[in-house]
Structure 1
């Protein structure tokens, strides 16, 4: 069951702009997340929470791709000083310090969080890690394990809000998109608790490419078995920002070579129809035009979406 409860998140831009130091906190959560660019590290480490026990992320780029390191410390300030001076970690540009109010996390807690975060990051595979082996989980009581898992659950809400998406699981098991409950582009009413799904298709006959996608719970999911272009076609200044996404899906094994093209090995959630269409086509593509309703190929995604908006009663539109 999907959690549809709203959450209240407070971001405070300490420097007055989003590229400086930021604090992030959820209502009714003891966790505290602090983001600082490396250029402000001296100022950042003077803050009280920098002396707490916690886990931290070092984020940057290495050889043209995102790179990260995940660690833990009883004193975050001391550990970050060490990393700033280390020659083997000169690639990082941003640090994310994760602690709890009143310094409530102990050594075992932060070791547990470090191990879980490293395991999650490696399983998802978006961002290569500088870490060596994943440390084993420390021995915690059943109650403490439950507390740390709840802490992680809240942290996974906060991190995407500060543009840390390395823990977002976009690939899904094949077939996870569920049953089709839509007819001719109009969402079908149902007493079932199953999520409503609308199915789309993208055909490239000349390239022998066919991809299928569904819109479910607000997500645009390309289904396993769909085709994608083997290589990115655009070059030079025309290269789309979606090329890096195409390359990432190849590297992570979501896209596997199959004859003259590639095939999605898993269902994959894209940020929108254009990102999905571009990865499938191997060049920049307008998703609202490229994707067509499977039940009525004369209707594009853009036209289908416009129809959904037209059905909104005036009372549902905010002033």
Structure 2
């Protein structure tokens, strides 16, 4: 991902920041349009809906524990999105990528659809609703290079509007500096995690308690832990749970609760390998 400085323009065609939003990097040709499902009829009246497009239908649960996406492409976007509105119940918003210069072809779109889906599956932040694995479409090398530049633009715009579909939740271990790891070993747990810009990530392989403490059972916090099990984020192994993938929590305390099976102050439970708390290193140090 290119992390050089960028200027991004966001246009509100209806004037409402909660409505349709159109984002673009001012020096590139791709435009991302975020469409709340309730405003789909309004978008289908816009000229942008009459273009070749790659689109993402997304849903994020209120607690952030379940993120789902369907990836598609079409040269008949109005018909396709109308069908999805009738037949797919899960999604809340459509994210539509089009070309500002109208030069996105079906060949571009097929490659971008395939590459987007593979990246989503590799990063594991969103579970996809596409079902089949799909095969790599034949794309001439010069066109593939253009597609990868379009994809990089899409990655930036999606993340800017709050949908980092292509970005892993944990920091890249191959970055210039090794990631800072925190551990949670209270109550017999063996948790490892990272404090990130978005919250706190519990890393794959972390081990927690299976049984919630009696005071937690029957509460919304216990239901939250049960959803993590049902969604395959955690798997029961004997008297423990094991994280099957990196998982982002909105706060260190929710991450600690998921591991410990009890309410916890994550700022104090998560510690550096040297024993310093997350609070000491990240809040008190400022």
TM over 0.5: yes
In the alignment, the residues of structure 2 paired with residue 92 and residue 4 of structure 1 have an alpha-carbon distance, to the nearest angstrom, of 30
In the alignment, the residues of structure 2 paired with residue 66 and residue 307 of structure 1 have an alpha-carbon distance, to the nearest angstrom, of 33
Which range moves more in the overlay, 156-165 or 105-114? Answer: 156-165
- The equivalent of 1:209 in structure 2 is 189
Which range moves more in the overlay, 216-225 or 160-169? Answer: 216-225
Gapped regions of structure 2 (runs ≥ 5) = none
User: Larger relative CO (CA 8 A, sep 6+): 1 or 2?
Assistant: 2
RMSD: 3.5
Asked whether 1:282 is paired with 2:261, we answer yes
- How many residue pairs match? The answer is 281
Q: Which has the larger radius of gyration?
A: 1
Tell me the SS of whatever aligns to 2:242. strand
Is the 1:60–1:66 Cα contact (8 Å) retained in structure 2? yes
- The equivalent of 2:207 in structure 1 is 227
Asked whether 1:83 is paired with 2:84, we answer yes
Asked whether 1:7 is paired with 2:10, we answer no
Q: Deviations over 1:68-123 (max 9, x none)?
A: 32211113223223333x4x324433222111112110011111111122223334
Is the alpha carbon distance of 1:169 and 1:241 closer, same or farther for their aligned partners in structure 2, counting shifts above 3 Å?
farther
Gapped regions of structure 1 (runs ≥ 5) = 179-192, 310-319
Is the 2:200–2:249 Cα contact (8 Å) retained in structure 1? yes
In the alignment, the residues of structure 2 paired with residue 3 and residue 95 of structure 1 have an alpha-carbon distance, to the nearest angstrom, of 25
> What TM-score do the two structures reach when normalised by structure 2?
0.80
Is the alpha carbon distance of 1:284 and 1:75 closer, same or farther for their aligned partners in structure 2, counting shifts above 3 Å?
farther
In the alignment, the residues of structure 2 paired with residue 145 and residue 50 of structure 1 have an alpha-carbon distance, to the nearest angstrom, of 24
Is the 1:177–1:216 Cα contact (8 Å) retained in structure 2? no
- The equivalent of 1:304 in structure 2 is 281
Is the alpha carbon distance of 1:270 and 1:139 closer, same or farther for their aligned partners in structure 2, counting shifts above 3 Å?
same
Is the alpha carbon distance of 1:214 and 1:78 closer, same or farther for their aligned partners in structure 2, counting shifts above 3 Å?
closer
**What is the CA distance between 1:250 and its match in structure 2?**
6.7
In the alignment, the residues of structure 2 paired with residue 248 and residue 7 of structure 1 have an alpha-carbon distance, to the nearest angstrom, of 36
> What TM-score do the two structures reach when normalised by structure 1?
0.73
- The equivalent of 1:189 in structure 2 is none
Tell me the SS of whatever aligns to 2:236. strand
Is the 1:177–1:221 Cα contact (8 Å) retained in structure 2? no
